[in-house]
Amino acid sequence: MRLQITFPEITLHDGESEIALSLFVHNSYDSSEGVRMFWGGIRSICSNGSVFGEVLAKFYAKHTSGIIVNNLKQQIEDTYEQIPLIKERISILQNLKPTSDYKEQIQKTFGKGIAEYVEEQPKVKNQWLLYNQLTH
């Protein structure tokens, strides 16, 4: 089971556009997978579980351990309170230029494949654009 609930009146800006706050819940009918829950500005979720967007909070529990989700209202409020901080972090990254050795650092940290991918992309003007390339 996959369920995505979108709250269109609560948005955050990720540097590209406004994204509505969403809650994504994934659960299996036969206990073959645990329960997953993501909060954030979620653009898309791939069938392999990759999440595209800004994840503000997440929850995972196996069916064997018992699932207790307390105070859903409080989780929503906590997530909503994080939006200004996330906007501030995005703004900081938008105002920072990549370091001169960022390509070498990418290869050292993420490996040759990711470094080659970034090399093929247009040169970025700020760290926010670089972050988006790395998480594309």
Looking at the structure, do residues 116 and 51 belong to the same domain, yes or no?
Answer: no
Per-residue pLDDT of the chain (136 residues; tens, 9 = 90+): 778 788 777 777 666 777 788 887 887 777 777 778 877 777 666 666 666 677 777 777 776 655 555 655 666 677 777 778 877 888 898 899 998 888 888 889 889 988 888 888 888 899 888 887 887 6
Q: What one-character-per-residue DSSP string does the chain give?
A: -EEEEEEEEEEEE-SSSEEEEEEEEE--SSSSS-EEEEEEEEEEE-TTS-EEEEEEEEEEE-GGG------HHHHHHHHHHHHHHHHHHHHHHHT-PPPTTHHHHHHHHH-HHHHHHHHHSPPPSSHHHHHHHHT-
Structural domain of 108 = 102-134
**In this structure, which amino acid lies at residue 40?**
G
Looking at the structure, do residues 87 and 55 belong to the same domain, yes or no?
Answer: yes
Residue 95: per-residue pLDDT: 93
Looking at the structure, do residues 107 and 85 belong to the same domain, yes or no?
Answer: no
